Amino acid sequence: MGLTGIRNVCKVSLDIPAGKQPQLHNRWHPDVPFAGTIKNGETVKIECVDWTGGQIGNNDSADDMKTVDLTKIHYLSGPFEIETAEPGDVLLVEIMDVQPFEDAPWGFTGVFDKSNGGGFLDEIYPTAAKAIWSFEGIYCTSRHIPHVKFAGLIHPGILGCAPSAEVLATWNKREGELIAANKLDRIVAQPPNETNVHAGSASEEIKAKVGREGARTIPGRPEHGGNCDIKNLSRGSKVYLPVHVKGAKFSVGDLHFSQGDGEISFCGAIEMAGVITINFKVMKNGMADLGMKSPLYLPGPVEPHYGPGRYLTFEGFSVDEHGKQHYMDVTVAYRQTILRCIEYLRRFGYSDYQVYLLLSCAPVQGHIAGIVDIPNACTTLGLPMDIFDFDISPTGPAKKLDMGSCAFETGVKEGKITQGGKNSEYSWGGGLTYKEGSASAVVENLKEKVVGS
């Protein structure tokens, strides 16, 4: 009698390609077949692969990061049938635990190359980079970013129920309109893509349909949540998810050992494979009862807490790094806030790329402080000082420590640019990278910055 173990409804292999495992899938679509059934009220374990499906290695080169195949990511575990769930219900998902696999206690944080994925600061930091993190119980450390250790606010980056056909059509329509109207010099959204589609155990016919129609997993979406990347959906949290199809078709994946608000480098959390333990409860008619259009949640009680006075806090405004005034643009403000923090930590010997990686994955607090004082939105970034093993408080000049380096593409190094006398105009010297023996790479990067500054 009593609990003698928790049912594991989804075993995954880290040796078989994720695209070959039928209990995984990589599109949101109502026709992806169920990968298993869970009772209303049951607690189960669900194993997950990492969000690159195993493309990134525990090594000291970012070559794999640079060449990552972004059509082979976000393999989700599921979808699972939750008994009794019907459209209009709410699925109450309580995250009882998330753990890395015992024999793979490591994860990674990456910066994608600007030409292959990019990230929030890719105009300034265009080079692929990587940090490997080792897990020891609740804590992680990285040989690529020394002198920091912190407890993981461990959580799933992605969870949600499948869209109905109607919801899916809405998504495809509105994102298609954005793509059609795009005049920016960058990809603004990802339309359905048949390349490397994985529809679980679906027939070829269904798989082809999923490829044509299925929503990509990158963005979170208001109707179901999805890739919210909310760092606080951690152990002990309750998440209230709208149900759009019979049986809910719940999926989960993209486990993070830790993430900072914004997940700024894109592959910015500490990505890992592992197992999540979830309790499921169906709230009949919950969407109407709760007046719910989007998921809501209650965080758990075990977040790391440091006390408010231990957060060194930076401000940023919607004036960009070139001095241009934007109108109430929180995105610009948050970018500036992060740059202020990079400048601050650079003084202790960290390279810009190390800090960029660190702020993506450490439990930093990104707040929208003021959003009404035209033309300047104001955001703040709270950096917990206690994750460092030296004193970073603002008491005067900083003493530089030997901080080593994060991982770069083979041949790429960080350094100061001395040629051309142009770097006096350049404000981000600490972050420049160059390819050995290749002046052009330097010049290319440099030009970009000089033009911008």
Report the nearest approach of a second copy to the CB of residue 15 (Å): 14
Q: Using an 8 Å Cβ cutoff, are 377 and 329 in contact?
A: yes
Report the nearest approach of a second copy to the CB of residue 248 (Å): 17
Amino acid identity, position 50:
D
Report the nearest approach of a second copy to the CB of residue 421 (Å): 23
Amino acid identity, position 281:
K
DSSP per-residue string spanning 71-91: TS--PEEEEEEETT--TT-EE
Report the nearest approach of a second copy to the CB of residue 167 (Å): 12
Nearer to a second copy, 135 or 434 (CB): 135
Collapsed DSSP state (helix, strand, coil) of residue 269: strand
Report the nearest approach of a second copy to the CB of residue 338 (Å): 10
Nearer to a second copy, 144 or 207 (CB): 144
Nearer to a second copy, 79 or 299 (CB): 299
Q: Going by C-beta distance under 8 Å and a sequence separation of 6 or more, which residues neighbour residue 414?
A: 351, 352, 353, 405, 408, 430, 431, 432, 433
Nearer to a second copy, 331 or 438 (CB): 331
Report the nearest approach of a second copy to the CB of residue 318 (Å): 9
Nearer to a second copy, 92 or 206 (CB): 92
Length, in residues, of the chain: 453
DSSP per-residue string spanning 152-203: ---EEEEEEEPPPHHHHHHHHHHHHHHHHH--SSS--------TT---TT--
Give the β-pairing of 106-111 and 150-151. unpaired
Nearer to a second copy, 178 or 439 (CB): 178
Give the β-pairing of 266-271 and 365-370. unpaired
Region of 226 on the Ramachandran plot (φ > 0 left; ψ -120 to 50 alpha; else beta)? left
Nearer to a second copy, 319 or 450 (CB): 319
User: How many degrees, rounded to 5, is the angle at CA 263 between CA 226 and CA 129?
Assistant: 120
Report the nearest approach of a second copy to the CB of residue 204 (Å): 30
Report the alpha-carbon distance of residue 452 to residue 323 in Å, rounded. 10
Report the alpha-carbon distance of residue 239 to residue 96 in Å, rounded. 11
Cβ atoms within 10 Å, residue 125 = 25
Q: Going by C-beta distance under 8 Å and a sequence separation of 6 or more, which residues neighbour residue 323?
A: none
Report the nearest approach of a second copy to the CB of residue 385 (Å): 9
Q: Using an 8 Å Cβ cutoff, are 84 and 39 in contact?
A: no
Nearer to a second copy, 206 or 319 (CB): 319
Going by the DSSP 8-state scheme, the letter that residue 452 receives in this structure is: H
Report the nearest approach of a second copy to the CB of residue 66 (Å): 17
Nearer to a second copy, 2 or 437 (CB): 2
